[in-house]
């Protein structure tokens, strides 16, 4: 039988931003499988030119409405490294706590609102409120907690206020931090229930070997700054991020593509998990085992599971951070500094993967050159190549075009693409 297929998904749903899937099959053979980003670019690198050092993080935050804290932190780190500012320990802890709030918020949003409807066979999370109230309850309670963390530490859930050059501008009262700790502890059964829930859901079976890129942990599972590592053995300094990304442009997409040792690489929760598994605490490793996630895992659909695992991890680590904050004086939260010329790179493990901001500042602290490389930009080529392999596997399994469409959509969603971000 000759199989012909023409699949065109225009503006894929349940992803942030606009992207299309185009698949052509002729005589049972794959002719083309394309992941095409059609999002309108905003040109942040151009807009950052002429912006002063203290406004750059505020502007960069607007690259993404979901991971605005990560963008702010990468931007702050680029500015602070350019001007050689060392931030106080308490500020470092508060920033990491904010980061964990964001990771939890972003992952929960993706796992439950964007990915889970496919696993339950519904169009969105809204019908789940009636059909599976216990699932919707988990989603809402965990998301509320995540937003609480971001709100308390940064002054707002989206587009943080109090993350500023030199540290943080405001610290919550110790009593508020104590309450927050109790709230996180109270929600631990919910994240454990989420692990149990995902044990019962079936994740598509698909494997394509690829390269995974992330920050390289030293003592802890890494989130802010440090060396860069790939699962193919490449190790680079933070400042050498360009050698890790190698951006190029394809005609059919407004987002750039990237590559390293192979035709494409992946970033995100699964990449971090694969590269830094040994830094996870035993409780979290045990949860990963329950969900059949072991490094190195090459199934992109397991990124959803790696996100569940990271949620558990950041909640536990947030409790540790709060303990440290509660045990210490919190009066030194912002370093003094002198505005000066310089160049700096800031790498941050954003929810969707490693994020880089790089600036050149003049002696007045005004940005003269900016470059931002976004996690989804780095994933786009990997999604594109995965899709071809997925369609080929599906054709061998005699899947019809409906099934192939559904799987391809799920594949893109598994990466949790933030398309506006990737085009920025």
Partner 1 sequence: MLKYLGIEPEKIKIGVFDFTGCGGCELQLANKEGTLVDFLALLDVVNFREISSDRGDDYDIALIEGSITREDEVERLKEIRKRAKILVALGSCACFGGVNTLKNKFPLREVVEEVYGKDRVETGQVRALGDVVKVDLQIPGCPVSKEEVEKIVVNIVNGAEIKFPKYPVCVECRQKLNTCVFDLGQICLGPITRAGCGAPCPTGKVGCLGCRGPAEEANYESFRQILKDHGFSTAEVMEKINFFNALPEMMIDES
Q: Is 36 helix (H, G, I), strand (E, B) or coil?
A: strand
Binding segment for partner 1 among 49-57, 222-230, 381-389, 396-404 (CB under 8 A)? 49-57
Q: Which of 70, 158, 378, 382 binds partner 1 (CB under 8 A)?
A: 158
Residue number, 30 or 145, with CB nearest to partner 1: 145
**Any contact of residue 56 with partner 1 (CB under 8 A)?**
no
Q: Are strands 211-215 and 265-266 parallel, antiparallel or unpaired?
A: parallel
Q: Identify the residue among 37, 116, 136, 197 touching partner 1 (CB under 8 A).
A: 136
Laid out side by side, the sheet with 265-266 consists of 235-236, 228-230, 211-215, 265-266
* Dihedral sign of CA atoms 197, 199, 200, 203 in order: positive
Rounded least distance, CB 108 to partner 1, Å? 10
Task: Please report whether residue 249 would count as binding partner 1 according to CB under 8 A.
Answer: yes
- Secondary structure element (H or E) that encloses residue 73, with its range: helix 68-82
Which of 86, 123, 294, 398 touches partner 1 by CB under 8 A? 123
Closest approach, Cβ 377 to partner 1, in A, equals: 12
Q: How far apart are CA 245 and CA 268, in angstroms?
A: 14
Q: Is the Cβ–Cβ distance between 60 and 74 less than 8 Å? A: yes
CB 101, min distance to partner 1, A: 13
103 close to 269: Cβ distance less than 8 angstroms: no
Length, in residues, of the chain: 424
Using CB under 8 A as the binding rule, whether residue 51 contacts partner 1 is answered as yes
Cα–Cα distance measured from residue 185 to residue 145, given in angstroms and rounded to the nearest whole number: 11
Site mask for partner 1 (CB under 8 A), range 1-30, x = bound: ----------x-xxxxx-------------
Radius of gyration of the chain from its Cα atoms, rounded to whole angstroms: 21
Which lies closer to partner 1 via its Cβ, residue 147 or residue 297? 147
The correct pick among 6, 29, 84, 156 for binding partner 1 (CB under 8 A) is: 156
Instruction: Give me the sheet containing 353-361, strands edge to edge.
Output: 342-350, 353-361, 367-373
Q: Does 140 bind partner 1 (CB under 8 A)?
A: yes
d(CA 64, CA 70) in angstroms, rounded, equals 9
Among 30, 33, 64, 345, binds partner 1 (CB under 8 A): 64
Q: What phi and psi values does residue 297 have, to the nearest 5 degrees? A: -105, 130
Judged by CB under 8 A, the chain residues 345 through 404 that form the site for partner 1 are: none
Nearer to partner 1, 12 or 270 (CB): 12
Tell me the sheet residues that pair with 167.
164, 334
* Residue 134 touches partner 1, criterion: CB under 8 A: no
Give the single-character DSSP code of 263: S
- The answer to whether residue 59 forms part of the interface with partner 1 (CB under 8 A) is yes
Give, rounded to a whole angstrom, the gap between the first and last alpha carbons of the chain. Answer: 45
Q: Which residues from 220-239 bind partner 1, rule CB under 8 A?
A: none
Q: Give the nearer residue to partner 1 in terms of CB position, either 133 or 189.
A: 133
Closest to partner 1 by CB, 165 or 316: 165
Question: Among 157, 231, 297, 378, which residue sits at the site for partner 1 (rule: CB under 8 A)?
Answer: 157
Q: Write down the least CB distance from residue 26 to partner 1, Å.
A: 28
User: Under DSSP, is residue 221 helix (H, G, I), strand (E, B) or coil?
Assistant: coil
On whether the CB atoms of residues 210 and 411 are closer than 8 A, the answer is no
Alpha helices in 277-357 (DSSP H): 282-290, 303-327
Cβ nearer to partner 1, comparing 207 with 366: 366
Q: Which residue of 34, 58, 362, 393 would you call a contact of partner 1, by CB under 8 A?
A: 58
Only segment of 157-165, 224-232, 316-324, 380-388 that touches partner 1 (CB under 8 A): 157-165
Q: Does 129 bind partner 1 (CB under 8 A)?
A: yes
Cβ-contact 359, 376 below 8 angstroms: no
Q: How far is the CB of 221 from partner 1 (least distance, A)?
A: 26
What b/e string do you get for 148-159 counting C-beta neighbours within 10 Å, with b at 16 or more? bbbbbbbbebbb
Other CB atoms within 10 A of residue 79 CB = 28
- Contact residues toward partner 1 (CB under 8 A) are 11, 13-17, 40-43, 45-47, 49, 51-52, 55, 58-59, 62-66, 68, 109, 113-114, 117, 123-126, 129, 136, 140-141, 143-144, 147, 154-159, 161-162, 164, 169-170, 249, 254, 418, 420-421
């Amino acid at each position: 039988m000759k199989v012909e297929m023409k699949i065109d998904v225009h503006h894929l749903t349940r992803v942030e931003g606009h992207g299309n899937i185009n698949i052509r099959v002729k005589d049972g053979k794959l002719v083309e499988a394309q992941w095409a980003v059609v999002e309108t670019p905003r040109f942040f690198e151009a807009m950052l030119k002429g912006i002063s050092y203290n406004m750059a993080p505020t502007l960069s935050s607007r690259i993404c409405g979901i991971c605005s804290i990560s963008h702010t932190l990468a931007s702050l780190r680029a500015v602070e490294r350019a001007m050689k500012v060392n931030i106080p320990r308490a500020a470092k802890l508060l920033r990491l706590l904010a980061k964990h709030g964001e990771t939890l918020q972003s992952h929960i949003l993706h796992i439950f609102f964007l990915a889970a409807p496919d696993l339950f066979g519904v169009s969105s999370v809204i019908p789940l409120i009636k059909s599976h109230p216990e699932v919707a309850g988990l989603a809402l309670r965990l998301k509320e907690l995540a937003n609480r963390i971001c709100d308390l530490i940064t002054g707002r859930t989206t587009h943080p206020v109090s993350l500023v050059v030199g540290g943080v501008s405001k610290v919550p009262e110790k009593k508020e931090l104590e309450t927050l700790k109790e709230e996180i502890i109270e929600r631990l059964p919910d994240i454990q229930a989420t692990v149990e829930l995902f044990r019962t859901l079936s994740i598509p079976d698909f494997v394509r070997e690829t390269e995974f890129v992330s920050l390289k942990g030293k003592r802890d599972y890494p989130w802010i700054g440090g060396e860069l590592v790939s699962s193919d053995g490449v190790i680079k300094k933070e400042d050498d991020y360009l050698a890790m990304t190698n951006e190029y442009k394809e005609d059919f997409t407004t987002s750039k593509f990237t590559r390293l040792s192979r035709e494409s690489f992946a970033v995100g929760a699964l990449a971090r998990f694969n590269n830094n598994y040994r830094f996870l605490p035993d409780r979290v490793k045990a949860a990963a085992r329950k969900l059949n996630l072991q490094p190195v895992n090459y199934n992109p659909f397991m990124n959803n599971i790696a996100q569940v695992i990271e949620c558990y991890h950041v909640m536990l680590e947030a409790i540790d951070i709060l303990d440290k904050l509660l045990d210490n004086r919190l009066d030194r939260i912002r370093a003094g500094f002198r505005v000066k010329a310089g160049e700096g790179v800031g790498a941050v493990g954003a929810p969707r993967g490693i994020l880089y901001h790089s600036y050149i500042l003049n002696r007045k602290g005004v940005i003269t050159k900016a470059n931002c490389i976004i996690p989804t930009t780095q994933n786009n080529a990997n999604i594109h190549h995965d899709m071809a392999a997925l369609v080929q596997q599906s054709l061998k399994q005699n899947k019809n075009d409906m099934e192939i469409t559904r799987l391809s959509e799920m594949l893109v969603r598994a990466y949790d693409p933030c398309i506006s971000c990737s085009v920025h």
